[in-house]
Structure 1
Amino acid sequence: MIVFDLACTLGHRFEGWFASSSAFADQQDRGLILCPHCGSNDVMKAPMAPSVPAKSNTRPTAQQAMTGTIPPELVKAMKALADAQSKALKHSTWVGERFAHESRAMHYGERDQATIHGQATREEAVALADEGIAVVPLPFPVAPPDEIN
């Protein structure tokens, strides 16, 4: 497929997709290309800027690309949230898939209170909340310690 910028004699610009340059010429000769704005079939190719990809050494990093489209206030808030989570997890113990079991054991006095984090299914989290056990989902994913490089 090839994409052309097109324009009618009234100056309306639009885009057209064609199988080839000759397919465009054939449809133009037969009057099949119509301006979607005014219905005119007097349509020509409009000047187009060439599509030149950036050199690989000049492309923005993922961080630069993300922060270029996200408002700076949101980037600042997300960084503060990530920092707070990181500090909280420093003094927390990873319990993995035993999170629901360990949370219940602490709630019912079967083990000492401690700050823990781990994995729970949605159903497990709902059941814990229904039992009055306070759990909070982490805003950012956490990799299990044994999976960290």
Structure 2
Amino acid sequence: MKVLNLQCSHQHSFEGWFASEDDFQAQLSRGLVECPMCADKSVQKLPSAPRLNLSGRQEPDASGKHLPSSSAAVDADESTAARNMTAVAGTSTGASHAQQAAFLQAVRHVLANTEDVGTRFADEARRMHYGEQEARSIRGQTSVREAAELLEEGIDVMPLPLPAALKETLQ
């Protein structure tokens, strides 16, 4: 199994698991690899730091004899290599990953705590606003024109882009 660090043209970073490099290339050429955040199919493979097993590495002592290095030194070397590879790749592992995770968490919360009324969204929002039915949290689809009309009527609405990964169950 080959685990690759991938990135779409919108700078969303994600991980993909493939049987081999050939399998990745075949899926990419058939348009089967897409960003889980925005469904962009323009995906590139990023360089990744290899996992180095250096537990058997030895360092010379003052007399010139090789002694096993401490695991703390090995861990520091590995994390430095990973940071350097990330810098070379031109990716940011801090804020962008945290922002993506926060966005997905917020969208999952909205999906879990709202009722999907589908294309009846504008009608349902109006009924609740004018007291014709009990207020509740809803989501659905509407046109840009209908959304603007709702806003003009004083009904608060906002667009919610749903990543393709949240529309279906991931396996």
TM-score (norm 1): 0.51
Percent pairwise identity: 34
Q: Which residue of 2 aligns with 1:8?
A: none
Q: Which residue of 2 aligns with 1:119?
A: 141
What one-letter code is carried by the residue in structure 1 that aligns with 2:92? P
Q: Which residue of 2 aligns with 1:98?
A: 120
> Measured at CA, do residues 98 and 121 of structure 1 come closer, stay the same or move farther in structure 2, by a change above 3 Å?
same
Once the 2 structures are TM-superposed, how far is the Cα of residue 148 of structure 1 from its aligned partner?
4.1
> Measured at CA, do residues 60 and 69 of structure 1 come closer, stay the same or move farther in structure 2, by a change above 3 Å?
farther
What one-letter code is carried by the residue in structure 1 that aligns with 2:160? L
Q: Is there any run of 5+ residues in structure 1 with no aligned partner, and where?
A: 1-56
What one-letter code is carried by the residue in structure 1 that aligns with 2:4? P
Q: Is there any run of 5+ residues in structure 2 with no aligned partner, and where?
A: 7-13, 16-44, 47-85
Q: What secondary structure sits across from 1:127 in the alignment?
A: helix
Equivalent of residue 103 in structure 2, options 81, 88, 97 = 81
Q: What secondary structure sits across from 2:4 in the alignment?
A: coil
CA distance in 2, matches of 1:74, 1:143: 18
Q: Which residue of 1 aligns with 2:92?
A: 71
What do you get for the CA RMSD once the two structures are aligned? 2.9
Q: Which residue of 1 aligns with 2:153?
A: 131
Q: Which residue of 2 aligns with 1:107?
A: 129
What one-letter code is carried by the residue in structure 2 that aligns with 1:127? E
Once the 2 structures are TM-superposed, how far is the Cα of residue 58 of structure 1 from its aligned partner?
4.7
1:78-124 deviation per Cα after TM superposition (whole angstroms, max 9, x unaligned):
21111011112212100000001100110000110000011011111
- Is the Cα contact below 8 Å between 1:82 and 1:140 reproduced in 2? no
> Measured at CA, do residues 142 and 91 of structure 1 come closer, stay the same or move farther in structure 2, by a change above 3 Å?
farther
Larger Rg: 1
Q: Which residue of 1 aligns with 2:40?
A: none
- Is the Cα contact below 8 Å between 1:97 and 1:118 reproduced in 2? yes
> Measured at CA, do residues 119 and 70 of structure 1 come closer, stay the same or move farther in structure 2, by a change above 3 Å?
farther
Runs of 4+ in structure 1 deviating by more than 4 angstroms, as ranges, are 65-70, 141-144
CA distance in 1, matches of 2:123, 2:129: 10
CA distance in 2, matches of 1:70, 1:140: 24
